[in-house]
Copies of this chain bind each other. A is one copy, B any other.
């Protein structure tokens, strides 16, 4: 849904769109600062509110019965979340970084507002479509074959979504563990892939979170980075 165009600049964050929705919803918004790791909404809890990430970062995930954690969405400033079909959430959302602020909108009141405000209703649909686009992007990333490709496109996706990027620098808001659970690979594989990308000269690392994209073309063009011709 979102054209993952290469050099396009989607710097128009979700915050800048939906200006009407933000204004209308502001009346019922309840903002809360969150500690690192704090649960915002939890699997099995009644789904009585929608949320918008104001600042920081958060992970939406599902715990499997074997203890593995699958992150099904990474929330960045401007992103809405907390949608549910059933009466209860079937996922958990946790703040990732310390200075995370979340705005909560009681679902019932938000729906009532939308009933009398067609423009709000339209923008809420748009917001749902954005969530769909995020999931489709993630699906396409996870669906790649090698870990090198997965990690590579993850960095590109973060670069596209993060508004606080400057040039080709990306400040990852997540740990290697989070990346691993987002990409459905092991932590070791993520670490090795990053090292590999560094050695190939596609990225540069300053510390563990600071990534500089050196060769964006190679990162996005190569659908099979590191593939060696078979004969």
Q: Which residues of A contact B (CB under 8 A)?
A: 1-4, 62, 64-66, 68, 70, 72, 83-86, 88, 90-91, 111, 114-116, 118, 121-122, 124-126, 128-133, 135-136, 138-140, 142-145, 184, 221, 223-224
**CA gap between A77 and B135 in the complex, in Å:** 22
Query: What's the number of copies of this chain in the assembled complex?
Result: 2
| Chain B residues whose CB sits within 8 angstroms of the CB of A126 once the complex forms | 85
Would you list 26 pairs from A and B whose C-beta atoms are within 8 A, ordered by A residue?
A1-B83, A1-B84, A3-B90, A4-B90, A64-B140, A64-B223, A65-B221, A65-B223, A66-B223, A68-B223, A70-B140, A85-B129, A114-B121, A114-B122, A115-B122, A121-B121, A121-B125, A128-B132, A131-B132, A132-B132, A132-B135, A135-B135, A135-B136, A139-B139, A142-B143, A144-B184
Alpha-carbon distance A4/B62, docked complex (angstroms): 12
Report A95 CB to chain B, min CB distance, Å. Answer: 20
Given the known interface contacts A72-B140, A143-B70, the answer about A90 and B2 at a Cβ–Cβ threshold of 8 Å is yes
A111 contacts across to B, CB distance below 8 A: 122
**Contact at A140–B83, with CB atoms within 8 Å?**
no
